[in-house]
């Protein structure tokens, strides 16, 4: 898993890599520029548009000068806009790349920029070197870039955005941010999404082993991390191996939640799925999902199941049932929706939750559970504390959902799409997580596989249906995610 380092650690990582690879810092900058160019080519921007590159005096600006040179070589009309006084001292690598800007690329002062021209703007003014809110003298430069209505692409970070803490001052509003080596933490904060635009991760050839000595609790979960987390089932596997799970879900008028999570558990691979639903409502689920069995006796032996998912639409009058389940269960379980609201308003229940269980609140439920947060960083810290204190796993849902683990690690998921913001998507996830637990996955792996495949299934559904995606479409695409990732 890719470590997410702090802006301060970048220089040290550079130093280690430069030493290991036997290259100069200027060569590393060239790699960054080349990596950017390969993304640029994949975008197929209209070639008739001129490119305006805003460059600062540090290494972020150095990237910009190199990119200007490489784009010019590719046949683009390129203009550079200097974001520093003429005669300023530049970083050594930026100066070298400035010296290498070919004659065909005209260099102007940023004040000469005409924002009403059509073109593509590259923001290479400030990157991870920014450690405090920008100086007053830099504000008009940011405003100038933001007055440009065309596509804006930020290099490494939108200028003005701090790499890993909340930012309040002016910053560039980018359509894309092409960030090097690892995602900068601030690019994953929901409050920055309108500034960072779509994040693109550009590889600059630093291997994960070079990150080994860097302490961090933040990680970025990618497709290549998933397959090894899966269990393999052979030819002789039987229903029992795929697990017997129960879902406590649904109530009068909200039986859809029970249907969605049960079906998702089946689609994820569970051998046997039992739904605990109100007896009067059983007809709905039994005709919608004939593969699901129903039970109604709340005094059942909950430990006869390999895994349990509790909460979707059970109603807030089920505290006693929830308490009985928590007291009875010896294995980790999945808790969602109404179960979390009940726990939030009866906090004495928290200590009854089996260790290593998985909680999947939406933001409203999370706030009820741990209190209000001032921003995402504050939320991350509060959740980490909660998970470590109670030895629980918790998912913060949203773009780049955060998988907060019992040991304090927090993993940002990279799969998913905005089209998953639809009723019942969370019920599908509960079914998937419960299914993986029931298939014998350790809770950490169940959470990682469940969240990643859920996001991937949502992406596939979103590609076909865009905003008409409904939760059932996510479920119907779970199988395709297994094919895509080659999970047997």
Ligand X SMILES: NC(=O)C1=CN([C@@H]2O[C@H](COP(=O)(O)OP(=O)(O)OC[C@H]3O[C@@H](n4cnc5c(N)ncnc54)[C@H](OP(=O)(O)O)[C@@H]3O)[C@@H](O)[C@H]2O)[C@@H](O)CC1
At residue 239, the 3 state secondary structure works out as coil
For the window 197-216, what string marks contact with ligand X as x by the rule CB under 6 A? -------x------------
57 binds, among ligand X, K ion, none (CB under 5 to 8 A by kind): ligand X
Determine which helix (DSSP H) or strand (DSSP E) holds 270, and give its type and residue range.
Answer: none
Which window, 27-35, 244-252, 275-283, 421-429, contacts ligand X (CB under 6 A)?
27-35
Alpha helices in 359-477 (DSSP H): 363-370, 376-390, 425-438, 443-465, 471-476
Where in 65-94 is the site for ligand X (CB under 6 A)?
Answer: 91
In angstroms, the first-to-last Cα distance of the chain is 22
Asked if residue 264 binds ligand X (CB under 6 A), the reply is no
Of 279, 240, 247, 272, the C-alpha closest to 262 is 247
Q: Does 175 carry a binding-site annotation?
A: no
Largest CA distance in the chain: 82
180 binds, among K ion, ligand X, none (CB under 5 to 8 A by kind): ligand X
10 binds, among K ion, ligand X, none (CB under 5 to 8 A by kind): ligand X
Q: In whole angstroms, give the CA distance from residue 242 to residue 468.
A: 32
| 285 backbone dihedrals φ, ψ, rounded to 5° | -70, -35
Other beta carbons within 10 angstroms of residue 109's beta carbon come to 12
| The one among 30, 63, 93, 123 contacting K ion by CB under 5 A | 123
Asked if residue 155 binds K ion (CB under 5 A), the reply is yes
Of 37, 13, 403, the C-alpha closest to 208 is 13
Q: Does 238 carry a binding-site annotation?
A: no
**Residue 184, by phi and psi: left (phi above 0), alpha (psi -120 to 50) or beta?**
beta
| The one among 35, 60, 192, 469 contacting ligand X by CB under 6 A | 60
Asked if residue 180 binds ligand X (CB under 6 A), the reply is yes
Which window, 152-160, 307-315, 345-353, 382-390, contacts K ion (CB under 5 A)?
152-160
The two tokens of residue 200 are: 């693109």
Supply the DSSP symbol for 188: G
Which window, 81-89, 106-114, 117-125, 319-327, contacts K ion (CB under 5 A)?
117-125
Q: Is the separation of the CB atoms in 151 and 120 below 8 Å?
A: yes
Asked if residue 380 binds ligand X (CB under 6 A), the reply is no
Q: Which is nearer to ligand X, 60 or 469 (CB)?
A: 60
Alpha helices in 22-118 (DSSP H): 25-43, 59-73, 92-99
154 binds, among ligand X, K ion, none (CB under 5 to 8 A by kind): K ion
Positions in the binding site for ligand X (CB under 6 A): 10, 13-14, 28-29, 32, 56-63, 91, 126-130, 132, 134-135, 138, 155-156, 180-181, 204
Q: Which residue numbers belong to the known binding site for (6S)-NADPHX?
A: 59-63, 127-133, 156, 257, 362, 427
Positions in the binding site for K ion (CB under 5 A): 123, 154-155, 159
């Amino acid at each position: 898993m890719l470590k997410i380092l702090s802006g301060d650690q970048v220089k040290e990582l550079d130093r280690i890599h430069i030493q290991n690879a036997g290259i100069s810092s200027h060569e590393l900058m060239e790699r960054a520029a080349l990596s950017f160019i390969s993304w640029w080519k994949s975008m197929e921007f209209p070639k008739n548009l001129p490119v305006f590159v805003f460059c600062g005096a540090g290494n972020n600006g150095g990237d910009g000068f190199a990119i200007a040179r490489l784009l010019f070589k590719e046949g683009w009309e390129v203009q550079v806009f200097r974001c520093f006084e003429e005669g300023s001292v530049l970083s050594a690598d930026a100066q070298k790349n400035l010296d290498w800007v070919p004659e065909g690329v005209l260099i102007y002062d940023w004040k000469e920029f005409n924002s009403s021209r059509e073109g593509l703007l590259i923001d290479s003014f400030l990157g991870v070197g920014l450690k405090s809110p920008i100086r007053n003298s830099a504000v008009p430069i940011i405003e100038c870039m933001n007055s440009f209505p065309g596509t804006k692409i930020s290099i490494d970070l939108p200028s003005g955005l701090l790499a890993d803490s909340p930012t309040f001052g002016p910053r560039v509003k980018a359509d894309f941010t092409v960030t090097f080596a690892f995602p900068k933490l601030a690019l994953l904060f929901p409050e920055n999404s309108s500034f960072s635009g779509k994040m693109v991760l550009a590889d600059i050839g630093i291997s994960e082993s070079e990150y080994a000595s860097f302490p961090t609790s933040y990680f970025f979960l990618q497709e290549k991390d998933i397959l090894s987390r899966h269990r393999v089932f052979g030819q002789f596997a039987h229903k029992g191996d795929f697990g017997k799970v129960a879902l406590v879900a649904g109530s009068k008028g909200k039986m859809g939640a029970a249907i969605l999570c049960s079906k998702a558990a089946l689609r994820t691979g569970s051998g046997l799925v039992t739904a605990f639903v109100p007896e009067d409502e059983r007809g709905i689920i039994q005709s919608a999902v004939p593969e699901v069995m129903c039970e109604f006796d709340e005094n059942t032996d909950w430990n006869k199941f390999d895994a349990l998912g509790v909460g979707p639409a059970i109603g807030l009058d089920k505290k006693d049932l929830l308490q009985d389940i928590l007291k009875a269960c010896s294995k980790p379980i999945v808790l969602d929706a109404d179960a979390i609201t009940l726990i939030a308003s009866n906090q004495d229940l928290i200590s009854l939750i089996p260790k290593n269980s998985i909680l999947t609140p939406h933001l409203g439920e999370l706030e009820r559970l741990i209190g209000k947060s001032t921003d995402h960083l504050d939320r991350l810290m509060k959740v980490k504390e909660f998970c470590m204190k109670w030895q629980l796993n918790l998912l913060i849902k949203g773009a780049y959902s955060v998988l907060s683990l019992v040991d304090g690690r927090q993993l940002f998921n990279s799969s998913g799409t905005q089209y998953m913001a639809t009723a019942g998507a969370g019920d599908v996830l509960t079914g998937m997580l419960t299914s993986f637990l029931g298939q014998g996955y350790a809770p950490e792996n169940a959470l990682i596989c469940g969240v990643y495949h859920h996001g991937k299934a949502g992406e596939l559904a979103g590609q076909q249906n865009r905003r008409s995606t409904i939760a059932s479409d996510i479920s119907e695409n779970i199988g395709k995610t297994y094919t895509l990732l080659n999970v047997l």
